[in-house]
Amino acid sequence: MTSPWFTNSATKNPEAKWRLFCFPFAGGSGHEFRTWGEQLPNVEVLGVLYPGRASRFRTPLIDNMEQMVTELKQELTAFQDKPYAFFGHSLGALIAFELTRSLRKAGMAAPELLCVSACDAPHLMPVPPLIHDLPDDEFVKEIREFGGTPEGVLNHAEMLAILLPVLRADLKLLETYQYQAEAPLSVPLYAVGGTDDTVTERENILAWERHTTAEWQSQFFKGGHFYFREEPNTSLFPYLRAALERQMRG
């Protein structure tokens, strides 16, 4: 099975018993997770490729949560043949959460595990000031503080011209998101983050606990908002392997 929404070119594992869908951060690409399958045996890792980037460069950007979730849910209908889990980082965590709730409403198979990373609990989403519609120079200044975009990109006019519309759309989606209270999920929910994250507060990550009636746990790894880029082989990957193996046995 293939879909423009999911990329697994470097980690395709059709014999895997499980799938792990990985949702990237604002401005990110599913290719961020291209090597994760090498560290997760028996799991086929599929990075979620939002419109407007990489091979979907010409696909119109999506800047609202409802449309993003609706289109993702439609794509997932062809991937319901084996158990799966969600991992979402920052904005990706929020999208994965809302997609899980939408799947429940539609009576579709839910993920066996939802792992949210470096993201405020949805009921604690920050309020204005907004940055997605700032002038370019101010916008770039704010993006630089997040620390996820290489300086080489921020200082390269042509690359920046390509990236800015993507970032603006993603941040508009985030900043216009409005949480609607529903019953907690019945899906195991793990919340993870970095010990030195200056973007997302530890307490706001721990607040995810209220959104499940199933198994809950949290874990913090050494590093900042993008902790998983630092020493994943000794931190996040062992944790994910153990988490997925536990759900497989369950």
Nearest to 141 by CA among 154, 152, 153: 154
What three-state secondary structure class fits 224? coil
Higher pLDDT, 155 or 169: 169
pLDDT tens readout for residues 118-132: 999 999 987 666 778
Residues known to be catalytic: 90
CB of 168 closer than 8 Å to CB of 52: no
Strand partners, 43: 18
pLDDT at position 11: 57
pLDDT at residue 69, rounded to an integer: 98
Across the chain, mean pLDDT equals 90
DSSP state of 3: B
Q: What percentage of the chain exceeds 90 in pLDDT?
A: 68
d(CA 102, CA 131): 28
| Model confidence pLDDT, tens digit, residues 12-67 | 677 788 999 999 999 899 999 999 988 998 899 999 999 999 889 999 999 999 99
85 CB-contact burial (10 Å; exposed 0-12 / middle 13-18 / buried 19+) = buried
Q: What pLDDT, on the 0 to 100 scale, is given for residue 74?
A: 96
d(CA 164, CA 143): 10
Name residues whose C-beta falls within 8 Å of residue 21's C-beta, 6 or more positions apart in sequence: 6, 46, 48, 84, 85, 86, 87, 96, 111
For residue 151, name the pLDDT band (cuts at 50, 70, 90): confident
Minimum mean pLDDT among 5-19, 183-197, 206-220: which range?
A: 5-19
Q: What's the pLDDT at 142?
A: 78
Q: Omega before 129 cis (within 30°)?
A: yes
As beta bridge partners, residue 18 has 43
- Roughly how many angstroms between the first and final C-alpha of the chain, as a whole number? 27
Q: What is the CATH number of domain 6-121+183-249?
A: 3.40.50.1820
Distance between CA atoms of residues 78 and 156, nearest Å: 39
Cα separation, 136 vs 225, whole angstroms = 23
